């Protein structure tokens, strides 16, 4: 049976590579591969480039589209190599060039809005309506250092959450985070529609290399095996050096002053309560804030940019068990470019100014 997506049609047992037309613009089209498997099964969306400068995900999607064949697949694969073509061509960071909006913040979009709104609406109406599973590929932008991890939707029907967790557990990464956001972010919105969805983070600092791409491809293949879309007989068993452990609590620290950032830790490092994580200096070199860990933490993400704008994400950290104030909320969302979800922090971290005065901020994003 043939499968049609917008202007593309693929017959059963075939693969087609072309460009999806966008109804609101003639200057951009989305590079897309459709694989209509020889056996029946679910429809899976794999995409890269929701954030256009996160190159590991884009190259991994492109490589998977080249490697996978109809005889390998039970069901149908929609692989969109690069979603934000508009920003990619302009070399913007995380935003569409036409309106400066972060695509991952505007789902489900608006057909009467600006470029990003219309693109999100197109994804929701034309693509999410056709799929049973969703794998969204991201990595660290040029100012972002991160340890590999994976998100799974958590604010969704129970069956959706359970299937998304199974997908996440197939990735060879140290951590997974169960999101509690139902909007804001492509995969979260898809989850709210009942689509089991994950977002994979691998790569850092706006760079890509073959190793990171190969690891991402392996993770995606493992997820596809887990949900029965490709066979273990053909691609081997799911082999993982690491089975991700769920971080019960995830929090973030924002920069509340502008200046220059001097991190003292790296993504993946651990720090004890009270340990200094970095300094913010003014443009004359004076220390204006010390950033210290409010509790024992694992640093998942941090900015590594010397330039530090005010009110931008600085550090994201996670931990297990109870928070310092024994607040039992779970699965907080990270403010990292991803994700840009509404986020509530259990405990606001302390920023220590150079005069010794402590200021505690109530962070929401």
- The ranges of the chain with pLDDT < 70 are 182-184, 324-365
Q: What CA–CA distance (Å, rounded) separates 363 from 31?
A: 38
Half-sphere exposure of 161 (CA within 13 A, CB side): 12
- The radius of gyration of the chain's CA atoms, rounded to the nearest angstrom, is 20
Pair of tokens at residue 28: 């951009």
**In this structure, CATH architecture of domain 3-235:** 3-Layer(aba) Sandwich (3.40)
* Three-state secondary structure call for residue 208: coil
CA-based end-to-end distance of the chain? 46
- DSSP summary character for residue 130: G
Residue 349 is predicted with a pLDDT of 42
Pick the CATH number of 248-360 from 2.60.120.10, 2.40.50.100, 3.40.640.10, 2.60.40.420: 2.40.50.100
Q: Please provide the size of the chain in residues.
A: 365
Domain ranges within the chain, ordered by starting residue? 3-235, 248-360
pLDDT of residue 236: 79
pLDDT of residue 341: 39
SS3 category, 259: strand
Structure confidence by residue, pLDDT tens digits, 219-249: 999 999 999 999 877 787 788 889 999 998 8
Report the alpha-carbon distance of residue 58 to residue 323 in Å, rounded.
Answer: 36
> Tell me, what's the pLDDT at 352?
44
Helix (H) or strand (E) run with residue 30 in it = strand 29-36
- pLDDT, position 357: 41
Looking at residue 237, its pLDDT comes to 79
pTM assigned to the model = 0.88
pLDDT digits (tens, 9 = 90+) for 59-92: 999 999 999 999 999 999 999 999 999 999 999 9
Contact in structure between 105 and 113 (CB atoms under 8 Å): no
């Amino acid at each position: 049976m043939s499968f049609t997506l917008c202007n593309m049609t693929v017959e059963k047992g075939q693969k087609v590579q072309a460009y999806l037309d966008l109804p609101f613009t003639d200057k951009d089209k989305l590079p897309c591969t459709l694989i209509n498997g020889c056996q029946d099964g679910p429809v899976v969306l794999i995409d890269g480039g929701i954030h256009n400068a996160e190159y590991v995900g884009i190259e991994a999607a492109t490589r998977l589209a080249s490697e996978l064949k109809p005889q390998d697949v039970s069901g149908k694969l929609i692989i969109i190599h690069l979603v934000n073509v508009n920003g990619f061509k302009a070399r913007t960071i995380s935003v569409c060039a036409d309106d400066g909006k972060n695509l991952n913040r505007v789902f489900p979009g608006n057909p009467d809005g600006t470029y990003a709104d219309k693109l999100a609406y197109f994804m929701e109406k034309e693509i999410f309506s056709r799929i049973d599973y969703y794998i969204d590929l991201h990595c660290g932008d040029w100012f972002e250092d991160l340890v590999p991890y994976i998100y799974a939707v958590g604010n969704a029907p129970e069956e959706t959450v359970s299937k998304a967790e199974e997908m996440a557990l197939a990735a060879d990464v140290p951590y997974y985070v169960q999101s509690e956001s139902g909007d804001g972010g492509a995969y979260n919105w898809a989850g709210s529609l009942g689509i089991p969805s994950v977002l994979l983070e691998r790569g850092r600092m706006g760079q890509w290399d073959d190793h990171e791409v190969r690891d991402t491809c392996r993770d995606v293949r493992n997820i596809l095996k887990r949900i029965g879309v490709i066979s273990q007989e053909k691609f081997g068993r799911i082999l993982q050096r690491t089975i991700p452990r769920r971080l019960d609590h995830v929090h973030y620290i924002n920069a509340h002053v502008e200046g220059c950032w001097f991190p003292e830790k790296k993504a993946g490092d651990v720090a004890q309560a009270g340990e200094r994580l970095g300094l913010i200096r003014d443009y004359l070199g004076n220390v204006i804030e010390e950033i210290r860990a409010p509790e024992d933490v694992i640093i998942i993400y941090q900015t590594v940019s010397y330039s530090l704008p005010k009110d931008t994400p600085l550090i994201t950290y996670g931990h297990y068990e109870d928070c310092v104030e024994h607040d039992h909320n779970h699965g907080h969302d990270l403010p990292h470019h991803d994700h840009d979800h509404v986020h509530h922090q259990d405990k606001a971290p302390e920023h220590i100014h150079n005069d010794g005065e402590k200021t505690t901020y109530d962070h929401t994003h």
